[in-house]
């Protein structure tokens, strides 16, 4: 038995909290597990894990932590890593994992047929499993701002002192800037960033929900947030959340041009995966109608599989044209996006 296999078995046994008395039992344990490192922290993901085990008999073991921490951990564990799959949020983080060289290529007819080209790596290193749009929200009582249709319009001096948005270090904003670089070039993207900074109503702070609440309260005139944060407010049983939802309007930007910026939750199989076949099988399961509905109804994300719809709350936001840019470009332009933010003084 090789040191790699033996080491992998020991960690799998530790993760699953059950041992085996013999080498034969260990081999069976090895064949019936998939070890997932995930930065997703949603309760409905547990239902997906349970559904996969019920359907296949394969036990799901998981470690949850931040994406960067998990990537570093897999790198440190090297060939002895028990990790079969990395699941994370945002194409920028998938790109970081790709750059770290921890993914192995997967060629699956199921994945290639059910996931659109622009939502997966061209060489099968990772696959997008759900999407979310970056939308503009405004205060309905104040009215929809004139001429506000595109992300580029946020830099218009007409919106001076009205824009709220989170920090430039946020991965969602980095990916948005990367998309603008891909579409418009770095020079135009920098000019846009400088214009948005000059229109800030306050210093960047809080999370996406905080931006939406600030718009509803009138502290800010307009803000950017991911669509699922907005949908959560619509779907909430909390009266305060419902009041916030009723006070805002939503714009899907760039409908006459590139389409609204979308990002993904996604996953890639680790190149040293001790249970590679199980990992691929789990990835394929995540594109099933059942799992896609978990993404949609549990966390208000858009399914990637054609023909499926979002949650009722997502449908209240309306239909939109998404950007068809391959989300891998969001990673390629990530470093340049960070430098642009620094140059324009976006804190």
Q: Are both 247 and 116 inside the same structural domain?
A: no
Sign of CA dihedral 108, 113, 119, 121: positive
Q: Are both 276 and 138 inside the same structural domain?
A: no
Closest CA to 302 of 321, 284, 285: 321
Identify the pLDDT of residue 44: 81
Q: Are both 160 and 42 inside the same structural domain?
A: no
What is the domain range of residue 65?
A: 3-131+263-308
Identify the pLDDT of residue 30: 54
DSSP for residue 86: E
Counting beta carbons within 10 angstroms of the beta carbon of residue 11, is it exposed (0 to 12), middle (13 to 18) or buried (19 or more)? middle
Do 168 and 338 meet the contact criterion of CB atoms below 8 Å apart?
yes
Model confidence, pTM? 0.88
DSSP string, 231-264: HHHHH-S-HHHHHHHHTEEEE---TTTT-B-EEE
Q: Are both 70 and 142 inside the same structural domain?
A: no
**Looking at the domain assignment, is residue 337 inside a domain?**
yes
Identify the pLDDT of residue 10: 33
DSSP for residue 117: G
Contacts of 255 (CB under 8 A, 6+ apart): 149, 320, 321
Identify the pLDDT of residue 21: 38
Number of domains in the chain: 2
Q: Are both 168 and 194 inside the same structural domain?
A: yes
Q: What is the chain's pLDDT, residue by residue, as a tens digit (347 residues)?
A: 333 333 333 343 334 433 333 333 444 445 799 999 999 988 888 999 999 999 999 999 999 999 999 999 999 999 999 999 999 999 999 999 999 999 999 999 999 999 999 999 999 999 999 999 999 999 999 999 999 999 999 999 999 999 999 999 999 999 999 999 999 999 999 999 999 999 999 999 999 999 999 999 999 999 999 999 999 999 999 999 999 999 999 999 999 999 999 999 999 999 999 999 999 999 999 999 999 999 999 889 999 999 999 899 999 999 999 999 999 999 999 999 999 999 999 99
Q: Are both 158 and 303 inside the same structural domain?
A: no
Question: Which residues face 269 on adjacent strands?
Answer: 85
Q: HSE-up of 139 (CA within 13 Å, CB side)?
A: 16
Q: Are both 84 and 117 inside the same structural domain?
A: yes
Q: Are both 42 and 55 inside the same structural domain?
A: yes
**Looking at the domain assignment, is residue 24 inside a domain?**
yes
> How far is the C-alpha of 201 from the C-alpha of 146, rounded, in Å?
18
Q: Which secondary structure element, helix H or strand E, spans residue 10, and what is its range?
A: helix 3-16
Do 54 and 60 meet the contact criterion of CB atoms below 8 Å apart?
no
Identify the pLDDT of residue 1: 37
Q: Could you tell me the CATH number of the domain that includes residue 173?
A: 3.40.190.10
Q: HSE-up of 126 (CA within 13 Å, CB side)?
A: 31
Q: Are both 35 and 61 inside the same structural domain?
A: yes
Do 322 and 131 meet the contact criterion of CB atoms below 8 Å apart?
yes
DSSP 3-state of 67 = helix
Structure tokens at 303: 């399914």
């Amino acid at each position: 038995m090789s040191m790699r296999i033996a080491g992998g078995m020991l960690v799998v046994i530790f993760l699953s909290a059950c041992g085996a008395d013999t080498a034969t039992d260990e081999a069976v344990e090895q064949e019936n597990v998939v070890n997932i490192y995930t930065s997703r922290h949603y309760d409905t993901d547990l239902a997906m894990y349970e559904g996969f085990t019920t359907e296949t008999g394969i036990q799901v073991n998981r470690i949850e932590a931040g994406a960067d921490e998990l990537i570093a951990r897999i790198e440190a564990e090297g060939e002895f890593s028990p990790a079969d799959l990395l699941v994370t949020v945002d194409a920028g983080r998938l790109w970081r994992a790709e750059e770290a060289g921890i993914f192995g290529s997967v060629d699956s007819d199921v994945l290639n047929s059910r996931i659109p080209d622009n939502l997966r790596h061209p060489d099968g290193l990772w696959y997008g499993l759900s999407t979310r749009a970056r939308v503009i929200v405004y205060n309905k009582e104040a009215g929809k701002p004139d001429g506000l249709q595109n992300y580029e319009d946020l830099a218009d001096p007409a919106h001076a002192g009205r824009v709220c948005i989170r920090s430039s270090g946020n991965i969602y904003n980095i990916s948005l800037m990367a998309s603008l670089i891909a579409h418009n070039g770095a020079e135009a993207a920098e000019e846009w960033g400088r214009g948005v900074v000059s229109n800030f109503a306050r210093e960047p702070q809080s999370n996406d929900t905080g931006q939406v609440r600030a718009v509803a309260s009138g502290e800010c005139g307009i803000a950017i947030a991911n669509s699922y944060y907005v949908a959560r407010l619509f779907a909430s049983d909390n009266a305060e959340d419902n009041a916030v939802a009723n006070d805002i309007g939503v714009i899907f930007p760039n409908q006459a041009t590139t389409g609204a910026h979308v990002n993904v939750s996604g996953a890639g199989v680790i190149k040293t995966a001790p249970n590679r076949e199980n990992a691929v099988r789990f990835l394929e399961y995540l594109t099933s109608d059942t799992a896609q509905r978990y993404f949609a109804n549990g966390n208000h994300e858009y399914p990637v599989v054609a023909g499926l719809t979002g949650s009722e709350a997502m449908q209240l936001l309306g239909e939109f044209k998404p950007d068809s840019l391959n989300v891998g470009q969001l990673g390629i332009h990530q470093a340049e996006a960070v430098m642009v933010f620094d140059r324009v003084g976006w804190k």
